[in-house]
Amino acid sequence: MDQRIVALLTADARSSYAEIGAKVSLSAPAVKRRVDRLRSSGVIKGFTTVVDPAAVGWTTEAFVELFCTGRTTPAQITVATRRHPEVVGAYTVSGEADALVHLRAADIGHLEQALERLRAEPFVTSTRSMIVLSRLVETPTPVPAPE
């Protein structure tokens, strides 16, 4: 039942509890209780608006591999990348790089400034950047079908 509710919210987070309840055969208050429980347990991390980055002036995008000093922890990378407003995602990865950072910027000049600030972090030894030419697929986290 919870998976069905999450799937419906993933498809349209603006659905009312009554609309969801009608689709899963529960009352609106029962759906609200379940959603509240899913939020408090961390299954649902929040509700957000998906904005087209270009519509708000962020037309340049890049993925940057970070190469760090030997004793750099994921926590250090997390703290540092959160200081940069252009960072929209940061991940530890396997392979040569220590982390992969997703940046969005207004233009190439802005991206270059963001990269320079990122490179100035004390644990960063080098970076390798890949500029996004076009976004082909972008989807929300899929919800497994209920069994």
Residue partners of 88: CB distance under 8 A and separation at least 6? 102, 103, 104
pTM for the whole structure: 0.78
* Token reading at 117: 């600030």
- Measured N-to-C along each axis, helices 2-11 and 28-40 cross at an angle, to the nearest 10 degrees, of 90
Strand locations in 34-76 (E): 60-68
pLDDT value at position 52? 85
- What pLDDT tens digit does each residue of the chain (147 aa) get? 999 999 899 888 899 999 999 999 999 999 999 999 999 999 999 888 888 888 989 999 999 999 999 999 999 999 999 999 999 999 999 999 999 999 999 999 999 999 999 999 999 999 999 999 998 998 777 777 666
Coil, strand, or helix at residue 96?
coil
How far is residue 91's CA from residue 101's CA, in Å, rounded to a whole number? 6
**Are 125 and 68 within 8 A, CB to CB?**
yes
* Spatial CA neighbour of 114 closest among 62, 65, 76, 59: 62
Q: What's the CATH code, domain 53-131? A: 3.30.70.920
Domain ranges (residues) in the chain: 2-40, 53-131
